[in-house]
Amino acid sequence: MKQENINLSEPSGILLIDKPAGMTSHDVVGRVRRLFSTKRVGHTGTLDPMATGVLVVLIGRAAKASEYLSHDEKSYDAILRLGLITDTEDSCGIIDPNSVIPPRGLPAIEDVQAVSESFKGRIAQVPPMYSALKVGGRKLCDIARKGGVVEREAREVLISRLEVASAALPSDYRLSVTCSGGTYIRTLCADMGATLGCGGVMASLRRTEACGFNLSQCYTLASLGDMSYEERVAKLLPTESLFEALPAVILEPFFYTLCRNGCELYQNRIRTNFDMGQRVRLCTPEGEFFALGEVREFEEGTAIKAIKVFVL
C-alpha cells in the first residue's frame, strides 16, 4: 500500500481547465503551480499546443492519482481537412509536395461517412512521429525534429463513436469522436485521408470530455487568475471524483482500522463479492473516501487490499 507524506495545509484536488490554443499542457501546469502556490501539480492527458478543451489538472495529494485512473475514455470535436498531407499530420506541419487533389475532386460527405465506418471499433493505429512516445529512451518528436524517422509498432485503440458532418470549407469535415486513451486524432485524420485517396490532416481539435468530466465544468486560466486564492481553492473537486465510476465499500470500524494498518480485507468477512482485479473506493464508517482498493488473491481467498491512501 502506497501512502504519501501529506501537508494538510497544501491545496489538494481536481482542477478542470479549458486549455487555450497556443499553450502546451506543461505551460498550463506551470501557470497552475503559480496560481495555487504549490509544486505538486500534474495532469491526466497531454493536449497539443493547437488543441483546446478539457485538461484535468491534479493538485497536491491528487497529483499521484493519475496512475490509478481506469476511466481513460475521451471525446473530441475535430476538423478533418482533406487534400493535404503534412509531416505532423495536422495543419501546422510542413506540407508534403505529394499533396495532390484527385482529378475527380475531393470526396463528398457520403464518401467520408462511408469510410468513417471502417475506423469504428477496435483498430490498429501507428503512433505519429510527432508524439511524446519514447523509443529507445528518446521521444519520437525529438527524433522527428532532427529529420529522423523510426519504425513504430501499431497499437490497438478503441473508437466507440465517430460522426461526420459538413464544416465551413468544402475541404473540411467535422468529426465527433469518442475513443480510448492513447488514440491520436491527428493520425485518425491522416488515415481517413489516405483511405479516401486524397490525403488529410487535422485542422483543429477540441477535447470535450475526459476522465468523466466535460467542458461545462471547466474554468479558463483567465477566469482563475481573476479570482482570489480562496475562490480558486473552492473550485477544486475532491480526489474521489476521479473514481466515481468505481463501487464504494463502506467499512465497519473494525475493518477500517485493519485496513489503515495495512491488512487485507477478506471478502467473505466484509460481505463483498467483487471479481479479481476489481478496484473499489474504500470509505470510512461515515462514508468518506480515504483510499483506493483492489481485489487480489491471498492464501485464505480473495481480499481487498488498499493500494493508495489519499487521506490520513
Q: Please state which architecture CATH assigns to domain 2-71+212-239.
A: 2-Layer Sandwich (3.30)
Q: Is 72 a catalytic residue?
A: no
With a CB cutoff of 8 Å and minimum separation 6, the contacts of 37 are: 229
Residues 237 and 240: their CA atoms lie apart, in Å, by 8
Fold agreement between 74-197 and 246-309: no
Q: Kindly list the domain boundaries of the chain, sorted by start residue.
A: 2-71+212-239, 74-197, 246-309
Residues 212 and 244: their CA atoms lie apart, in Å, by 9
Q: Residue 70 — very low, low, confident or very high, per pLDDT cuts 50/70/90?
A: low
pLDDT for 6 equals 46
100-119 tens-digit pLDDT: 777 678 999 999 999 999 99
Nearest in space to 17 (alpha carbons), one of 36, 4, 3, 2? 36
Comparing 103-117, 223-237, 265-279, which segment has the lowest mean pLDDT?
Answer: 103-117
Per-residue cell: 191: 488515415
Q: Please state which architecture CATH assigns to domain 246-309.
A: Roll (2.30)
Distances (CA, A) of 82 to 21, 75, 117, 120: 22, 22, 17, 19
- State pTM to two decimals: 0.87
**Superfamily (CATH) of domain 74-197:** Pseudouridine synthase (3.30.2350.10)
Task: Tell me the mean pLDDT in the region 200-213.
Answer: 96
Catalytic residue among 18, 48, 77, 90: 48
Q: Residue 1 — very low, low, confident or very high, per pLDDT cuts 50/70/90?
A: very low
The top-scoring range by mean pLDDT among 66-75, 120-129, 160-169 is 160-169
Strand pairing report for 200-210 and 52-59: parallel
